[in-house]
Structure 1
Amino acid sequence: MRTGETGQLRLFTGLVLFLAAGCVAWGATDLVTPEPDQWHYLAIAVGLVVVGTACSAPVQIRGPIRLNATSAAVLLCVLVLPPGWALICAASGVTAARLASRTTGASLHKALHNSGKDILAAGAAAGAVWLSGVRPSLDGDLLTASWSTYAVALLAAAVAFAAVEEIVTPTTVVLATGRSFAQVSRTDWDIRLAIDVASAVLAGAALGLIAIDPRLMIAMPLAQLVLYLLYMHRMHLRAERSTWEQLAAATDALNGVDLDGVLRTAARGAVAVFTARQAQVELWDVEPCRLVRADAERVLYDGPSSAAPPPAPLTASRLLGGRDGSAIGVLRLALPAPMAGLHGREESTLRAFGASLTTAILNARAYAELAEQRDRHARDARHDPLTGLDNRRALLDRLGAAQQEPGSGTRALALVDLNRFKEVNDTLGHAFGDQLLVEVGGRLDTAARDSGAMVARLGGDEFAILFDNLPAPATAVHRARRVLDCLRDPVGLAGMQITVQASAGIALATPGVSAGELLRRADVAMYQAKRAGVSIVDYQHGRDTADHRQLSLGGELARAVAEGEFAVRFQPIVDLGSGEAVAAEALTRWQHPRHGVLLPKQWLPIVERSDLLGAFTARVLRQALLGLREWRSAGFDLTVALNVSPHSLLDPAFPAMVLDELDAHHLDPGSLTLELAETTSVGQLHAVDRVLTALRAAGVRFALDDFGTGHSTLSVVSEVAVHELKIDRTFVAAMRTSAQAAAAVRSTVELGRSLGLTVVAEGVETADQRQALWELGCTAGQGHLFGRAMRAGEILEALRDGADGVAGSLAASLHRGATVIALRNRPPA
């Protein structure tokens, strides 16, 4: 049994052959032996049937339907020959033609089935002619009735023949392919109807020729051939158009970006284009191999190839090639039998469909890869690469989004910073520091989720915790403390147990507060917690010391330096015993056009962080030296002291600038004292000392400012050679009431005396403070008792006027004319 020849089809074929045999038997009952001159009519009839059957055209419905011109020959036979001879001629002709077709590979079953069908149709047509009143006979003329009777008989015979065709042929296809009867019947019905009408017209024309001369029947085969070629051409054009329309629709449907949709659409589209029972697409370059199978109604299977159920017999396939020429999969078709193969145009169609499917698969994969990259980039842009937590951008987006609904609760932001994290990096290395951050981030995230919050890493060792829908503002600190409790347990790093401590600041989101402002407030509170040495501080507006004016001052700094808005004022330094002015400290003020006079604490950090520090220092030094030259020109032998930023001391060009200015103003380097005031210089001793050495060698003096406050230490005195020590004003103010302050002053004086250094007390406000300092052995001082910060000209006027009429004195002498031996430069014992 061949593919498609089911048991039901064989039974049906047997039924058709049985009925055909019955028709032949019926015709044989009235069989009359023809005269010798009548045999040629029978031979011509058989030839007509052979030619009509041989001239067949296939209909592309993947089934055993072939349109032919048999009906025209059979209709002519049943109209002009007795029923018996008509059936014998029809049976002989179709059998001969069908058996001859076996040389092209057709099966015996198919030949017998089609022969039986044609004989059965011929029997039906003969019966219709007999019932219409036409009694054909070989005696005399072939035409024995009126033309109207023949017209009715022709119409009845054509209808009977077509009825048998339209019942038997679709039923055969249904049994062979499993397709529906309605679907098969609708295929090319208009062409079949046109052929039936044309066959009837051709048979009627042949009757007219017979009326003229029966021998003209010889023209019938030519007419059959013309009819065959005409409809073959028309069917070819229709098939081409239909195929390419279906192919275009199927390939258009493949223009998706989803691989699942492409594969499912391809499987169902292949069924429609090739009228297949099933189609399946299998991909080989995925693990596991994937297979999608579909029929005309639905997708039958989508999953691993190894788990797919057995398919219908697959009879055609096409490899799906990759861009590099390698096969990525295969498209397979289960075509209906017995026409289980593709030929000619269908092979081209399959190649085109396979190429479109390959392109669609590769495009879908490329789109999926781009979408994955886009999602990954979007995810990376919003997540911290080390901890996997949300980053600052994600937090700001979340903060920028409106809270769920009005009245839904309070939102709070906690900013967390790890204490002494730098020590972990410096001691164990950054790799272990990263491990610590990952562990801390994981703990915070777990604890925050339990509290309905989110955690983000802002950078370094800073984390943020966002609380939403809090029942009350007061619960924010409680929730944050509960989250931070997760850091109590030590973290194991490098074989050690490390205790993690953190400081947190909390700010509440209120109407009108932006995301950036909320983050700033939490940051302010966090640094307040660090300074206070506590774990959590909530933001209070009254404790917010942020000065937004500094931001605008930074932008105005270049203009201020260029236009000389920085002015130098001088505070005199006097001998505490005699009241004589010995020096003056240059103090810089910013005369701002809008804000008035600004003190150094308001703008000095901005200058030190800018790239204008060198130009600023040069301008201030120039003004200080101009004042010094003015005093010396008037006969007062003073020196000038100038506080120097530690950043300037790290500038290799600083010594040359100072010496150039001294030379330009014709001043002795010994007339300038540079005051060192910050611990930054201590941390850079070697670099600073190179600068100090170059200036010291030229004769410039140095003073250590704010000595004893912790900003300067004894180690500095031993490492950096200075000429003066300046006692901080806080000790001077408290030495009358604090024994510790008095001891600090006394020890500084003794240290200076033992090292041969000048000691200057700052902040001398009262005569009692002057007296006490003098009694402790301090030789010089400055403060409001002797004069506030003044212009250089005002200092000169005060020197000229003097105290008690003594030029150069700014205060009355404490020893009133007695001779005092200065001990400040006594060498150590």
Structure 2
Amino acid sequence: MRKGETGQLRLLTGLVLFLAAGCVTWAATHLVAPSPAEWLYLVIAVGLVIVATACSAPVQIRSQMRFTATSAAVLVLAVILPPAWAILCAATGVTAGRLAARHAGVSFHKALHNSGKDVLAATAASYAAWLAGVRPGVEGELLTQGWVTYVVALSLAAAAFAAVEEIVMPATLVLATGRSWGQIWRTDWDVRLAVNLASILLAGAALGLLALDPRLMIAIPLAQLVLYLLYMHRLHLRAERTTWEQLAAATDALNGVDLTGVLHTAARGAVAVFNARQAQVELWDVEPCRLVRADATRVLYDGPSSQAPPPAELTASRFLGGRDGSAIGVLRLALPATTGGIHGREESTLRAFGASLTTAILNARAYAELTEERDRHAEDARHDPLTGLANRRALLDRLGAAPEQPASGTRALALVDLNRFKEVNDTLGHAFGDQLLVELGGRLHAAADENGAVVARLGGDEFAIVLDNLPAPATAIHRARRILDCLRDPVALAGMQVTVQASAGIALAGPGVAAGELLRRADVAMYQAKRAGVSIVDYQHGRDTADHRQLSLGGELARAVEEGEFTVRFQPIVDLGSGEAVAAEALTRWQHPRHGVLLPKQWLPIVERSDLLGAFTARVLRQALLGLREWKAAGFDLTVALNVSPHSLLDPAFPAMVLDELRARRLDPGSLMLELAETTSVGQLQAVERVLTTLRSAGVRLALDDFGTGHSSLSVVSEVAVHELKIDRTFVAAMRTSAQAAAAVRSTVELGRSLGLALVAEGVETADQRQALWELGCTAGQGHLFGRPMKAGELLEALRDGADGVRGSLAASLHPGATVIALRNRPPA
């Protein structure tokens, strides 16, 4: 209650009681004594008022109003009794009724105030009926005028009664609650109107009973009580529905995720639901304790509890409980002095509101914790956990965003890699390696700040520097070098001074250059710097050796295998002396629908890295064996040679696949020669030995391809049991001009002879090379001199035609008329 409010309310109560006392005094001095028989009517009249006054009930929680049927009883008195008796009976009845049936929480002072108000209203109603022409008396007939007069009298009396009610009651509530006149008048105006109309109807019904038989007046209090209770029941249902709707709306408004919003909404919502003058929510489990206070129009305070101004008198409270049962705070209400506190159904409403508020507070805190955790994770996801610098993700986001000042200059990206960093990890351990990265990352960050740049760590010992607002592209290297100068000073690690050098590549951003492409270009330039042994290299498109076709071919590999785009061509292998074809090597080509014929060097590494190697090898082997069967069917006893990827030899299922294909075509395993790449199989001897043993035991022949080009040729020959050595074409091409190449061919031939191995020279292009190889003892060769790679059918036609008409010969004999022992008849190795 605000300052001065109590005194004003008491002054109003005193004025009402004074006026009521004056009315009663006037009535007492103007009484006309009734006859003994008419005392019954007076007693019934008083009883009527007592019943109407005692049977009252609130129709809205915290409305500060109680509706009664007193007006109906007073209207009956106003038209059947003289004003003096009507006033006196009304005063006696309302006083006795209020004192006999005081409601919980209603003070004696309030009862007297309301009784005085009813006496004033009864006086106004009696004289209104008198002015309407009703002249009742206690002697004789009770109803002496026509019905029109009584209808007018009841209407005027009801209006007079309501006028007093609508003046005194709002004035009282304005002083008690601090609310405006407009708010008071708008509150339950429809209910008050309905009560007044019902009072007129009830009074009219009472007059009807009196007209039938005055003795029926004894039934009026009972009828009044029944009708009143029925009407009040409906009003109570409406009041409860309105109350719970307000509570639901208030609790729904608490479903926010912002704690401040929840507290503000709760304080104002409690004022609305409980019709309180003020409400405050105090949280105890925070430091300092937080208090939020509000009235019906605004939030009055939000801050530490210790600094809050004094509140209005707080008359009701509800603890707010935590999940573990402990109290996290309290909700307090400053109810008007006339309400008498919280009781009955209002306690359930307050308990429900307090529970909803507790849930809303806990939910808002949980959401705040989740939001904080999400923001922390998002921040962590964009920073390197070791150095605290931005990471690759943050770098790509920054590169993808437009520069803060797009018109102010050029953007460049420098990619930095520490040289020989692995030696630090291997020598001193990863802990010292991390310490080195933290130190160098801090130096780069500080130097970048001084030069208006941003540093990120991409991983390992790689850092990136974003240079923005460069005045000209040429300044990028200068500014990057100035930043990298911070790495020159040695770093103290494990009691020693470690000097670190770095290589950097710089790429300039430009229209259409995406973040990933810019990073790739900087990476290309950085590796060029490493290879050149310089500190910084800028990206030049002409030096970019990246082959985008490799990525494209990798994506098309599955289609090529499935649709048979890989085809086999056969290059004949001939006896160098006789020129007779003894074998053919199957060479694979990719007949690409857009790029044309692709050689193995363009796609073989892609196949070997894919999971389609097995399917690819099976298709190629099948085509090679089909060609072999075609030649044998035509009467040419050749063998077919096929290069095998070292990755295939690591597959335990490879031997079974080869032997199944041979059986399916009814071919002798000895007619298949598998060529092994000497340079790639040497490091995998133990892994492939079981596969090679299975194939060799089944009769499949093995050849060592490109012999002499590896790093350990002799050790390979001693470890891998093969049937044939193939002399690499580089030695054949240079043997006429290079003594070293001729010596290499000669030694290979001698090695093959001593081990009982067949020898095939690759790349035989001229007759001189053929002659020289024959003279050195090499017995077979292949190359363009004898035929280019061709289809199986084309090779068959060449064999049928023969050289100089000799069937199966692809070159003239070096010694016409001489007898030559064919290679296929040589003793097995």
TM-score by length of 1: 0.69
CA 1:455/1:373 → structure 2, altered by over 3 Å: closer, same or farther? same
Residue by residue over 1:556-603, the C-alpha shift from the partner in whole angstroms, topping out at 9 and shown as x without a partner, is 543576x983121125474xxx89889767251437386665433234
Mapped pair 1:110 → 2:97: no
Once residues 406 and 317 of structure 1 are traced to their aligned partners in structure 2, the CA distance between those partners, rounded to angstroms, is: 59
Mapped pair 1:550 → 2:553: yes
Q: How does 1:367-766 map to 2 (within 5 A)?
A: 395=396, 506=507, 510-511=511-512, 536=537, 537-540=539-542, 543-547=545-549, 550-551=553-554, 554-555=557-558, 557-558=560-561, 565-572=567-574, 574=576, 586=585, 588-590=587-589, 592=591, 598-608=598-608, 609=610, 610-616=613-619, 618-619=621-622, 622=625, 643-652=643-652, 675-692=675-692, 704-706=704-706, 709=709, 716=716, 719-720=719-720, 728-730=728-730, 763=763
CA 1:439/1:732 → structure 2, altered by over 3 Å: closer, same or farther? farther
Residue by residue over 1:516-549, the C-alpha shift from the partner in whole angstroms, topping out at 9 and shown as x without a partner, is 8778777776776676666654433885544367
Verify the 8 A CA contact 1:618 1:657 in the aligned structure 2: no
Once residues 739 and 507 of structure 1 are traced to their aligned partners in structure 2, the CA distance between those partners, rounded to angstroms, is: 51
Partner of 2:17: 17
Residue by residue over 1:236-289, the C-alpha shift from the partner in whole angstroms, topping out at 9 and shown as x without a partner, is 354245335545544665666777656654554443344333456788999999
Residue by residue over 1:283-336, the C-alpha shift from the partner in whole angstroms, topping out at 9 and shown as x without a partner, is 8999999876543223456678898877652536597898x9999988765544
Which deviates more, 47-56 or 618-627? 618-627
| SS of the residue 2:614 aligns to | coil
Q: How does 1:267-416 map to 2 (within 5 A)?
A: 267-279=267-279, 294-300=294-300, 313-315=314-316, 317=318, 334-341=334-341, 346=346, 395=396
Which deviates more, 303-312 or 674-683? 303-312
Once residues 784 and 583 of structure 2 are traced to their aligned partners in structure 1, the CA distance between those partners, rounded to angstroms, is: 14
CA 1:675/1:106 → structure 2, altered by over 3 Å: closer, same or farther? closer
Once residues 467 and 701 of structure 2 are traced to their aligned partners in structure 1, the CA distance between those partners, rounded to angstroms, is: 58
Once residues 175 and 764 of structure 2 are traced to their aligned partners in structure 1, the CA distance between those partners, rounded to angstroms, is: 121
Deviation at 1:698, TM superposition (A): 7.8
| SS of the residue 1:590 aligns to | strand
| SS of the residue 1:116 aligns to | helix
Mapped pair 1:173 → 2:173: yes
Deviation at 1:183, TM superposition (A): 1.7
AA at the equivalent of 1:94? V
Which deviates more, 647-656 or 194-203? 194-203
Mapped pair 1:96 → 2:96: yes
| SS of the residue 1:339 aligns to | coil
Once residues 361 and 517 of structure 2 are traced to their aligned partners in structure 1, the CA distance between those partners, rounded to angstroms, is: 50
Deviation at 1:646, TM superposition (A): 1.8
Deviation at 1:199, TM superposition (A): 5.4
Verify the 8 A CA contact 2:81 2:136 in the aligned structure 1: yes
AA at the equivalent of 1:236? H
Once residues 52 and 590 of structure 2 are traced to their aligned partners in structure 1, the CA distance between those partners, rounded to angstroms, is: 118
Q: How does 1:774-785 map to 2 (within 5 A)?
A: none
Once residues 505 and 714 of structure 1 are traced to their aligned partners in structure 2, the CA distance between those partners, rounded to angstroms, is: 46
AA at the equivalent of 1:612? A
Between the two proteins, the alignment pairs up a number of residues equal to 800
Partner of 1:824: none
AA at the equivalent of 2:561? A
Verify the 8 A CA contact 2:49 2:93 in the aligned structure 1: yes
AA at the equivalent of 1:235? L
Q: How does 1:205-224 map to 2 (within 5 A)?
A: 221=221, 224=224
Verify the 8 A CA contact 1:625 1:662 in the aligned structure 2: no
| SS of the residue 1:565 aligns to | strand
CA 1:783/1:65 → structure 2, altered by over 3 Å: closer, same or farther? closer
Deviation at 1:205, TM superposition (A): 8.7
CA 1:252/1:701 → structure 2, altered by over 3 Å: closer, same or farther? closer
| SS of the residue 2:60 aligns to | coil
Verify the 8 A CA contact 2:105 2:340 in the aligned structure 1: no
Verify the 8 A CA contact 1:506 1:539 in the aligned structure 2: no
CA 1:432/1:553 → structure 2, altered by over 3 Å: closer, same or farther? farther
CA 1:431/1:365 → structure 2, altered by over 3 Å: closer, same or farther? same
Which deviates more, 260-269 or 681-690? 260-269
Once residues 790 and 128 of structure 1 are traced to their aligned partners in structure 2, the CA distance between those partners, rounded to angstroms, is: 130
AA at the equivalent of 2:549? D
Deviation at 1:109, TM superposition (A): 1.8
| SS of the residue 1:676 aligns to | strand
Verify the 8 A CA contact 2:414 2:507 in the aligned structure 1: yes
CA 1:103/1:294 → structure 2, altered by over 3 Å: closer, same or farther? closer
Deviation at 1:127, TM superposition (A): 7.7
Verify the 8 A CA contact 1:761 1:778 in the aligned structure 2: no
Once residues 519 and 693 of structure 2 are traced to their aligned partners in structure 1, the CA distance between those partners, rounded to angstroms, is: 47
Once residues 210 and 694 of structure 1 are traced to their aligned partners in structure 2, the CA distance between those partners, rounded to angstroms, is: 127
CA 1:96/1:725 → structure 2, altered by over 3 Å: closer, same or farther? same
Once residues 370 and 655 of structure 2 are traced to their aligned partners in structure 1, the CA distance between those partners, rounded to angstroms, is: 60
CA 1:79/1:552 → structure 2, altered by over 3 Å: closer, same or farther? closer
| SS of the residue 2:14 aligns to | helix
Deviation at 1:104, TM superposition (A): 5.8
Once residues 5 and 20 of structure 2 are traced to their aligned partners in structure 1, the CA distance between those partners, rounded to angstroms, is: 20
Once residues 640 and 153 of structure 1 are traced to their aligned partners in structure 2, the CA distance between those partners, rounded to angstroms, is: 131
CA 1:631/1:546 → structure 2, altered by over 3 Å: closer, same or farther? farther
Once residues 540 and 103 of structure 2 are traced to their aligned partners in structure 1, the CA distance between those partners, rounded to angstroms, is: 100
CA 1:10/1:786 → structure 2, altered by over 3 Å: closer, same or farther? same
Verify the 8 A CA contact 1:320 1:357 in the aligned structure 2: no
Verify the 8 A CA contact 2:38 2:138 in the aligned structure 1: no
Q: How does 1:147-296 map to 2 (within 5 A)?
A: 161-193=161-193, 195-196=195-196, 221=221, 224-225=224-225, 228-229=228-229, 231-233=231-233, 235-247=235-247, 249-250=249-250, 253=253, 264-265=264-265, 267-279=267-279, 294-296=294-296
| SS of the residue 1:570 aligns to | strand
Deviation at 1:613, TM superposition (A): 4.6
CA 1:96/1:583 → structure 2, altered by over 3 Å: closer, same or farther? same
Verify the 8 A CA contact 1:677 1:712 in the aligned structure 2: no
Once residues 605 and 327 of structure 1 are traced to their aligned partners in structure 2, the CA distance between those partners, rounded to angstroms, is: 71
Once residues 31 and 697 of structure 2 are traced to their aligned partners in structure 1, the CA distance between those partners, rounded to angstroms, is: 152
Verify the 8 A CA contact 1:417 1:502 in the aligned structure 2: yes
TM-score by length of 2: 0.69
- RMSD of aligned C-alpha atoms? 6.7
| SS of the residue 1:566 aligns to | strand
Residue by residue over 1:719-763, the C-alpha shift from the partner in whole angstroms, topping out at 9 and shown as x without a partner, is 556677666544665678788878877887898899998887655
Once residues 198 and 809 of structure 1 are traced to their aligned partners in structure 2, the CA distance between those partners, rounded to angstroms, is: 131
Gaps of 5+ in 2: 819-829
CA 1:452/1:272 → structure 2, altered by over 3 Å: closer, same or farther? same
AA at the equivalent of 2:589? W
Gaps of 5+ in 1: 818-829
Verify the 8 A CA contact 2:566 2:591 in the aligned structure 1: no
